[in-house]
Amino acid sequence: MPFVTTADKTELYYNDWGHGRPIVLIHGWPLSSSMWEYQVEGLVEAGFRVVAYDRRGFGKSSQPYSGYDYDTLADDLKVVLDHLELDDAVLVGFSMGGGEVARYMSRHSGERVGKVALVSAVPPYLLKGDDNPDGVDGAIFDQIIEGLRTDRPNFLYSFSKSFFNAGMLNFQISDETRQQFLIEGLKASAKATIDCVKAFGRTDFRQDLRRFDVPTLVIHGDADQTVPIDASGKRVPAMVPGAELKVYPGAPHALTFTDKEKLTADLATFARN
């Protein structure tokens, strides 16, 4: 299997398909690169080289005890880009993965990157505070961590309901899909799963976004119960001049599944133009 090794000897698993302009898919929490299964074929068939890798601690990548801060995760992304010699790449960060993209653009000056897409992503800053009144109450992240420590399988399965807006009028998600979410989530190390909640819940990306100097697309569902659009996607254009915001009306967090065809088409159009 294809792996690339980081400076701290962590092995990152990746897939590399197709030819053409590279699109790098960065997955969300608590999943792996397999979450992109409904986008990969369409993007490859549209003439792109598609790279999807597993974050450290998740999927088939190795599970070190540490390194789940965004500086390290951005450095991991750089290792992938450098190893595969990707240039003029389109970075696509979903949910937590949007944080990797944001930190990479500032920490590594956007090296090798031609465009950026943030999908249901956590930037600019989720944690509510005096200087961030539109954020999410920190108690929510504490409750997630407590749920993971108490009964991780039960918490992840319950969490999947809001991830897909399962049971809502427009989203009758099969139980098998929720089971797949649980299975992928349990492949991750417990330490990584908890530490990443701390990372995406408490990391401020506002200054990172101001370092963006490439075309940027923001895609977000306005019924997202996991990363509310008012705390995230709607705020990005004010910090990234020229960024385009596409709102999917009535859509939940899991756009890669619930709006799979639309998302794939929008990403292909953005990467091509």
Domain CATH code at residue 91: 3.40.50.1820
- Annotated active-site residue 19? The verdict is no
Number of domains into which the chain is organized: 1
Over residues 73-117, the pLDDT tens digits come to 999 999 999 999 999 999 999 999 999 999 999 999 999 999 999
Which residue out of 54, 224, 259, 266 is catalytically annotated?
224
Over residues 32-79, the pLDDT tens digits come to 999 999 999 999 999 999 999 999 999 999 999 999 999 999 999 999
Which residue out of 95, 120, 160, 232 is catalytically annotated?
95
Which residue out of 54, 220, 253, 259 is catalytically annotated?
253
Is the overall model pTM greater than 0.85, yes or no?
Answer: yes
More confidently predicted of 181 and 167: 181
Q: How far apart are CA 25 and CA 28, in angstroms?
A: 10
Q: How far apart are the first and last CA of the chain?
A: 33
The residue segments making up the domain with residue 169 are 3-272
Per DSSP, the residues of 76-111 read: HHHHHHHHTT--SEEEEEETHHHHHHHHHHHHTTTT
- Annotated active-site residue 95? The verdict is yes
CA distances from 96 to 61, 75, 93, 169, 175 (A): 17, 15, 7, 27, 24
CA distances from 7 to 68, 83, 183, 196 (A): 14, 12, 29, 20
Q: Which two tokens stand for residue 8?
A: 């701290």
**Half-sphere exposure in the Cβ direction for 6 (13 Å, CA):** 24
- Annotated active-site residue 16? The verdict is no
What pLDDT, on a 0 to 100 scale, did the predictor assign at position 171? Answer: 61
Q: What letter would DSSP give residue 59?
A: T
What pLDDT, on a 0 to 100 scale, did the predictor assign at position 173? Answer: 84
